[in-house]
Structure 1
Amino acid sequence: MPVNLLFSNPLSINEGVSILLDNHVAQKVIDHALSLGADFAEIFIERHLTSSVNTLSDKVKTVNSGIDFGIGLRLFFDNKVLYGYTNDLNEEELKRIVSELSAKDRRDPKTTSESFNYLKFDDIHPATMPLEKDFCVPQKVEYLLAANSAAQLQADKISQTMGFCVQRQQNIQIFNSLGLEAKDSRHYTRAGLTVVVSYNGEQATGSWNDGGLVGWELNQGIDAKATGVEAARQAMVNLSAKPCPSGNMPVVIGNGFGGVIFHEACGHLLETTSVAKKASVFHDQMGEMIASEVVNAVDDGCMANEWGSINIDDEGMPTQKTQLIKDGKLSSFLVDKMGAQQTGFERTGSGRRQSYKYAPASRMRNTFIEAGNDSLDDMIGSIEKGIFASHMGGGSVQPGTGEFNFAVTEGYYVENGKILYPIKAATLISTGPKVLKQISMVGTDFKLACGMCGSVSGSVPTTVGQPAIKVDDILVGGNA
Structure 2
Amino acid sequence: MISDSTTKKVLARALRSGGDFAEIYVEDRSSNSLRLEDSKIERASSGREVGAGIRLRVEERTFYAYTNDLTEKGLLTTADTLRAVLDSSSLTKILNLKAREARSCRGQDTIMPQEVPQEDKVALLKKTDQAARQVSHEVIQVIAWYSDEIQKVLIANSRGLLVEDERIRTRFIIYVIARRKEIIQTGYKPLAYLQGYEALDQHPPQEAAITAARAAVTMLDAIAAPSGRMPVVIAKGSGGTIFHEACGHGLEADHIYKNASVYAGKRGQRVASEIVTAMDDSTLKNSWGSFGFDDEGNPAQSTLLIEQGILRNYLYDDYWAERMGERATGNGRRQSYQHLPIPRMTNTYICNGQIEPADIIKATEKGFYAHTLSGGQVDPATGDFVFGVSEGYLIERGEISTPVRGATLIGNGPRILFEIDMIGNDLEISPGTCGKEGQGIPDGSGCPTLRVRELTVGGTQGGI
Distance 2:222 2:99 in 1: 58
Q: Trace 1:284-363 onto structure 2 (pairs within 5 A).
A: 284-363=265-344
Alignment counterpart, residue 54 of structure 2, candidates 70, 73, 79: 73
Residue 204 of structure 2 is aligned to residue 223 of structure 1:
yes
Aligned partner of 2:453 in structure 1 is 472
Q: Trace 1:54-69 onto structure 2 (pairs within 5 A).
A: 54-69=35-50
Q: Does the 8 Å contact 2:102/2:165 carry over to 1?
A: no
Distance 1:90 1:138 in 2: 36
Decide which moves more: 102-111 or 367-376. 102-111
Alignment counterpart, residue 123 of structure 2, candidates 128, 142, 147: 142
Aligned partner of 1:244 in structure 2 is 225
Query: Deviation string for 1:356-402 (max 9, x for gaps)?
Result: 01111111111111110123233223334320001122212111111
Distance 1:185 1:117 in 2: 19
Aligned partner of 2:17 in structure 1 is 36
Aligned partner of 2:89 in structure 1 is 108
Alignment counterpart, residue 140 of structure 2, candidates 128, 150, 159: 159
| Partner amino acid, structure 1, of 2:360 | M
Q: Trace 1:402-413 onto structure 2 (pairs within 5 A).
A: 402-413=383-394
Query: Deviation string for 1:326-355 (max 9, x for gaps)?
Result: 100111111110010121221111111111
Q: Does the 8 Å contact 1:337/1:351 carry over to 2?
A: yes
Aligned partner of 2:235 in structure 1 is 254
Q: Trace 1:414-425 onto structure 2 (pairs within 5 A).
A: 414-425=395-406
Q: Does the 8 Å contact 2:231/2:454 carry over to 1?
A: yes
Aligned partner of 1:437 in structure 2 is 418
Deviation of 1:103 after TM superposition, in Å, equals 4.5
Aligned partner of 1:14 in structure 2 is none
Aligned partner of 1:130 in structure 2 is 112
Q: Does the 8 Å contact 2:65/2:81 carry over to 1?
A: no
- When residues 457 and 103 of structure 1 are mapped into structure 2, their CA distance, relative to the original with a 3 A threshold, is farther
Distance 2:292 2:24 in 1: 18
- When residues 105 and 479 of structure 1 are mapped into structure 2, their CA distance, relative to the original with a 3 A threshold, is farther
| Partner amino acid, structure 1, of 2:209 | G
Distance 1:292 1:301 in 2: 25
Instruction: Please give the root-mean-square deviation of Cα atoms over the aligned residues, in Å.
Output: 1.7
Deviation of 1:96 after TM superposition, in Å, equals 3.9
Query: Deviation string for 1:217-273 (max 9, x for gaps)?
Result: 112202243122111111012221111111222111100233111111111111112
| Partner amino acid, structure 2, of 1:294 | I
Deviation of 1:105 after TM superposition, in Å, equals 4.6
Distance 2:395 2:369 in 1: 7
Alignment counterpart, residue 205 of structure 1, candidates 168, 173, 186: 186
Distance 2:411 2:205 in 1: 37
Aligned to 1:266, the other structure's residue is in SS state helix
- When residues 171 and 123 of structure 1 are mapped into structure 2, their CA distance, relative to the original with a 3 A threshold, is closer
Q: Does the 8 Å contact 1:368/1:466 carry over to 2?
A: yes
- When residues 135 and 49 of structure 1 are mapped into structure 2, their CA distance, relative to the original with a 3 A threshold, is farther
| Partner amino acid, structure 2, of 1:129 | I
| Partner amino acid, structure 2, of 1:163 | A
Distance 2:126 2:111 in 1: 21
- When residues 276 and 106 of structure 1 are mapped into structure 2, their CA distance, relative to the original with a 3 A threshold, is farther
Q: Trace 1:19-34 onto structure 2 (pairs within 5 A).
A: 20-34=1-15
Distance 1:28 1:362 in 2: 28
Aligned to 1:238, the other structure's residue is in SS state helix
Distance 2:126 2:239 in 1: 28
Distance 1:106 1:235 in 2: 63
Aligned to 2:198, the other structure's residue is in SS state helix
Distance 1:243 1:62 in 2: 37
Aligned to 1:72, the other structure's residue is in SS state strand
- When residues 22 and 343 of structure 1 are mapped into structure 2, their CA distance, relative to the original with a 3 A threshold, is same
Deviation of 1:33 after TM superposition, in Å, equals 2.1
Give the TM-score taking structure 2 as reference length: 0.95
Deviation of 1:476 after TM superposition, in Å, equals 1.4
Query: Deviation string for 1:175-208 (max 9, x for gaps)?
Result: 1101111111110001132111111111111022
Residue 369 of structure 2 is aligned to residue 388 of structure 1:
yes
| Partner amino acid, structure 2, of 1:202 | I
Decide which moves more: 87-96 or 256-265. 87-96
Q: Does the 8 Å contact 1:361/1:456 carry over to 2?
A: no
| Partner amino acid, structure 1, of 2:335 | Q
Give the TM-score taking structure 1 as reference length: 0.92
Aligned to 2:78, the other structure's residue is in SS state helix
Q: Does the 8 Å contact 1:188/1:213 carry over to 2?
A: yes
Decide which moves more: 420-429 or 106-115. 106-115
Distance 1:257 1:38 in 2: 45
Aligned to 1:114, the other structure's residue is in SS state coil
Aligned to 2:5, the other structure's residue is in SS state helix
Number of residue pairs matched?
460
Distance 2:206 2:70 in 1: 47
Deviation of 1:174 after TM superposition, in Å, equals 1.0
Aligned to 2:382, the other structure's residue is in SS state coil
- When residues 121 and 102 of structure 1 are mapped into structure 2, their CA distance, relative to the original with a 3 A threshold, is closer
Aligned to 1:325, the other structure's residue is in SS state strand
Deviation of 1:125 after TM superposition, in Å, equals 5.0
Identity of aligned residues (%): 37
Distance 2:116 2:34 in 1: 10
- When residues 296 and 94 of structure 1 are mapped into structure 2, their CA distance, relative to the original with a 3 A threshold, is same
Decide which moves more: 279-288 or 137-146. 137-146
Q: Does the 8 Å contact 2:104/2:166 carry over to 1?
A: no
| Partner amino acid, structure 2, of 1:301 | S
Q: Does the 8 Å contact 1:56/1:160 carry over to 2?
A: yes
Aligned to 2:101, the other structure's residue is in SS state coil
Q: Does the 8 Å contact 1:244/1:478 carry over to 2?
A: yes
